[in-house]
Structure 1
Amino acid sequence: MSDSLPSPAPIPWRDAKRHAWLLSGVFPGLAWINVWQADRSGHMGWLWLMPGIMYTAIPLLDWLLGEDRSNPPDEQVPALEADRWYLGVLLLFVPLQFGLTLHGAWLAVHGGLGLVGLVGLVLTVGGINGVAINTAHELGHKHAAWERWLSRVVLAPVAYGHFFVEHNRGHHRRVATPEDPASARLGESFWAFLPRTVLGGLQSAWQLERQRLAGRGHGPWHWHNECLQAWAMTGVLYAGLVAWLGWAVLPFLLVQAAYGAQLLEVVNYIEHYGLLRQKGADGRYERCAPEHSWNSNHRMSNLFLYHLQRHSDHHAHPARRYQALRHFEQAPQLPSGYAGLLLVAYVPPLWFRLMDRRVMTHYGGDLARANVQRSAWRKLSRRWGAAPAG
C-alpha cells in the first residue's frame, strides 16, 4: 500500500482583473459626476479634476502599481472571450459618454462658466470623447454588425467617423511602414506628425471607400460610403444640439472634438514610433510582428484603456477581445503607460531624449532598420554614427 498522498487538484484560473475592468466602463460616468458637481455648486475646480486624473493620477498609479505581464492560459482564451461580462463593461461606456456630452453641451451654453470653466469643460468632455475612440476601436474590430455600427455611433461626438474605415483597412495593412500616416517616424515630432496623420487618414479613408464602392459599381458619394454614414451621424448629433441649445453650442462641440481627436493621434504617435517592417527580396514588407508595436503592461493605463497598450497582440489578432490580449516578451516596451507619455510627446526634445535611444537599442544601433523621418536623417546619422541616406 503506497504512502504517497494524492496530487492536489489544480486551482481553476480566474481573471484577477475581472471587476477592475469596470474602471474602463465607468470612466465617462466619473467625468459626468464632476460636471454635475460643477453645475450644482458653481465651483469650476470640478471641471479640472478629470484632466488631473488623466495627466497626473493615472501615471502616478502606473508607477506605484507597476506592471502586470501575466497572460491568460491558452486553453482559457475561448471562454474568456465568450464571457458577456466584458462586453457589458464595454457597452456601459456608451450611454455614460453620451450623457456626459449632452450635459456638457448644456453647461457650455447655460452655465456661465467663464474662460477657466470652459477650458476645463472642454478638457473633460473632449478628453472622454477622445478616450471613447478607443471604445470605438474595440467595437469596430469585431465581426458582429451591430458592434461595428455602434463603433461609428461612439465616434460621432468627436467627429472622427472616418477612423473606422482608415484604421481597420488602412492602418492595419500599412502599419510600421513609411506609407502609413498613423505610424510616426524616428525624428518626427508630434507637431509634424499631427497634420500628416490627420490629413493622411482622411485621404486614405476616402480612397479606401472610393475603391470599395467602385468595385460594386457605385461612385464615392453613394449612401453606402461608410465615411459619409459616420459623418452623417456627427451631423445629426450636432444639428440636434444646435436645435436644442442654439448656435452658441457649436464652438464648444468643435473644440472638444478637436481636443479628443488629437488624444487619439498622440496615442498613435506613441504606438509605433520609429518602428519599421523590413522589406524582403521581393520588395514586400514582412508580416507585422510583435516587434513592430510599442507595448506597455502598466496596470492602471491598461485598465482604463481596455488593454490597448498590449498593441502587438491586437495587430496580430485584431478581432481578439480586450480581456484576452497577451503580453509578448519580444515586443519593445515603453518606459511608462500611455497616460504618462502624453505630455512628454507634446515636447519634442523630451520625447526624442526618452525614446530615440530605445528605438536604436531595439535595432542594435542600425539606423537603416528604423522608420526614419527623412528630414531628420542627417542629424540622426551624426548622432548615431550611421551612414547618410542615399
Structure 2
Amino acid sequence: MSASTLGSTGLRSEAQTWQDGKRYLWPLALVVPILPYVAYGLWHRFDNALAWYLTPFLVYVIVPLGDWLIGEDAGNPPAEREAQLQSAWYYRVLTFLYLPLQFGSLVLGAWAWSQPHVNLPSRIGMIISVGIVTGIAINTAHELGHKREELERWFSKIALAPSGYGHFYVEHNRGHHVRVATPEDPASARMGESFYRFWPRTVWGSLRSAWELETKKHRLRKRSPWTLRNDVLNAWLMTVVVFAALTLWFGLGVLPFLLVQMVFGFSLLEIVNYLEHYGLLRQRTAAGRYEKVEPVHSWNSDRLSTNVFLYQLQRHSDHHAYPNRRYQVLRSFDEAPQLPAGYATMIVVALFPPLWRRVMDPRVLAHYEGDVSRANLTPKLRAKHEPKKTG
C-alpha cells in the first residue's frame, strides 16, 4: 500500500471519527429568548427593576467575558462530514425553537408593560430585554431565510415580524449579497463613517432597495406590486397583525413598548451590519465589474462564546461565499480579516466612534497593505485620497 493511500485512508478514518465539539453548546442560542421569562418571574416576585436587565447583562457582559476567557475556535468540520451535518435535523430544530420563545417573550413583555404602577427603570429594562430578543431573532431569520425549504423561508418572515423588518428577507438575499462590500450597498459601512451616520443610510437604503427589487420582480411578471404575493408587503402585514392583536389585547398603552423594542431590535441588526464589512471593498476587474465575493470581503471572528449564541454568524466570509450553507458547517478562513474581539464586544465599541476608528481604521489599512484607496471610503475620505489632477 502506498504512502498516499495510507494518508487518504487515515484522513477518511479521522473524518469518520470526528464529532461536533459544539453540538451540545448550540442550544445556548436559546438562552437569550428564555431570559425575559426569568426576568419576569424575578420582577414579579421581588418587584425589582434590575431583573429586567438580565438579558443585556448576558449579551453585553457575560458573552464578551466568555469570548476573552474561552478564546477562539478556528476548527472546521471535515469536508466528508459536511453533507451529514447539513441534513441533520437537530441543528434545524434549534433555529425553529427560537420563534415560539421569541413570540412568548414579546407577549410577556407586553403583559408586564400593561400592568399598573410599573416604574421607569422597569419599563426601560423591558424594552431592552425584549428588544435584544427581537434583534437576535433577525439573525435567526437570516439563517432560515437563506434556505431553499419553503417552511424555513416562511419561518424567516415570521421571525422578522416583531422587528417590523420584513423587507430584510428581500433586501438581504437579493440586494446585500449581490452588492456586498461596494459603495452601492446600503448595508456595507464605509471607512470613516460612524455608526450614527451609517444607521439612517442603511435603514432607509435597505427599505428602498427591497421595495425596488420586489417591484421589479412583479413588473417583469406583468403584474402590480400591490399584491400579497409581494414578499415585502406580506412580511409587513405580519407585523401589523401581531401589533394589532397585542394592542387589542393589552390596550393602546402597549404601543410605545412595541414600537421602541422594534427600533431597538432592528438597530441591533444594523450595528452588526456596520461591523461586518466596515471599510472592505471589492475591486473592479478589467471588465469594469466588481470581483467575486471572497473571504477577504467580510470581517470574521472565531470567538467561541459569541458564535454559539449567534448560530455562528461571525463566520461571515463563508456565509457570503456559500449562502446556503447551514450554520453548523460554516468554515473559518485564514485569509479572512479578523476582528479584535467578538461581535458582542465590537457592537459596544461601535457606539463610540473615536474608539471604533482607533481600533478598526488601522486594521483596514493593514488589510490593504497601507493603500487606503483600495478601501471602501466615505465620499469625503475618497475625495481626500484621490490623486490630484494636474493642469
1:168 aligns with 2:157: no
Conserved in 2, the CA contact under 8 Å of 1:378 and 1:389? no
Indicate how the Cα distance of structure 1 residues 111 and 48 shifts in structure 2: closer, same or farther if over 3 A, else same.
Answer: farther
In structure 2, the residue matched to 1:179 is 184
Rounded Cα–Cα distance in structure 1 between residues aligned with 2:154 and 2:102? 16
Match of 2:292 among 287, 292, 296: 287
Match of 1:362 in 2: 367
**Partner of residue 161, structure 2:** 156
Secondary structure, counterpart of 2:114 in structure 1: helix
SS of the counterpart of 1:248?
helix
Per-residue deviation, residues 324-353 of structure 1 (Å, max 9, x unmatched): 000000000000000001111011100000
Q: Percent identity?
A: 51
Structure-2 residue corresponding to 1:226: 231
Mark the CA change 1:278 to 1:389 in structure 2 (over 3 Å): closer, same or farther. farther
The one of 17, 22, 44 equivalent to 1:39 is 44
**Aligned mates of 1:206, 1:170 — CA distance in 2:** 11
Output the TM-score relative to the length of structure 2: 0.94
In structure 2, the residue matched to 1:29 is 34
* Structure 1 segments unaligned to the other structure (5+ residues): 1-6
Cα offset for 1:217? 1.1
Equivalent in the alignment of 1:66? 71
**Partner in structure 2 of residue 4 of structure 1:** none
CA 1:111/1:21 → structure 2, altered by over 3 Å: closer, same or farther? farther
Decide whether aligned partners of structure 1 residues 111 and 73 sit closer, same or farther in structure 2, where only a CA change above 3 A counts. farther
2:4 aligned residue:
none
What is the identity, as a one-letter code, of the residue corresponding to 2:138? I
Counterparts in 2 of 1:1-390, with a 5 A limit? 10=14, 12-110=17-115, 112-377=117-382, 381=385, 387=387
Separation in structure 1 between the aligned mates of residue 94 and residue 151 of structure 2, nearest angstrom: 16
Distance in 2 of aligned mates of 1:61 and 1:14: 23
**TM-score (norm: length of structure 1):** 0.94
Quote the Cα distance in structure 2 between the aligned partners of 1:377 and 1:349. 19
Structure 2 residue ranges without an equivalent (≥5): 1-8
User: Is the 1:272–1:292 contact (alpha carbons within 8 Å) kept by the matching residues of 2?
Assistant: yes
Q: How many residues align?
A: 379
Are the equivalent residues in 2 in contact too, given 1:130–1:263 (CA < 8 A)?
Answer: yes
Specify the code of the residue in structure 2 equivalent to 1:191: Y
In structure 1, the residue corresponding to 2:97 is in which secondary structure? helix
Give 4+ residue runs of structure 1 displaced > 4 Å after superposition. Answer: 7-11, 386-390
Cα 1:114–1:388, aligned 2, differ >3 Å: closer, same or farther? Answer: farther
8 Å Cα contact 1:32/1:96 also seen in 2: no
How far apart are the structure 1 equivalents of 2:78 and 2:172? 29
Say whether the 8 Å CA contact 1:290–1:328 is kept in structure 2.
Answer: yes
Which residue of the partner structure matches residue 3 of structure 1?
none
Aligned pair in 2 of structure 1 residues 388, 106: CA closer, same or farther (>3 Å)? farther
1:39–1:111 CA contact under 8 A, matched in 2: no
- Opposite residue 165 of structure 1, the aligned amino acid is V
- 1:387 deviates by 4.6
Q: Secondary structure at the match of 2:185?
A: coil
Q: Which amino acid aligns with 2:85?
A: L
Q: 2 CA distance for matches of 1:375 and 1:39?
A: 52
| One-letter amino acid matched to 1:284 | R
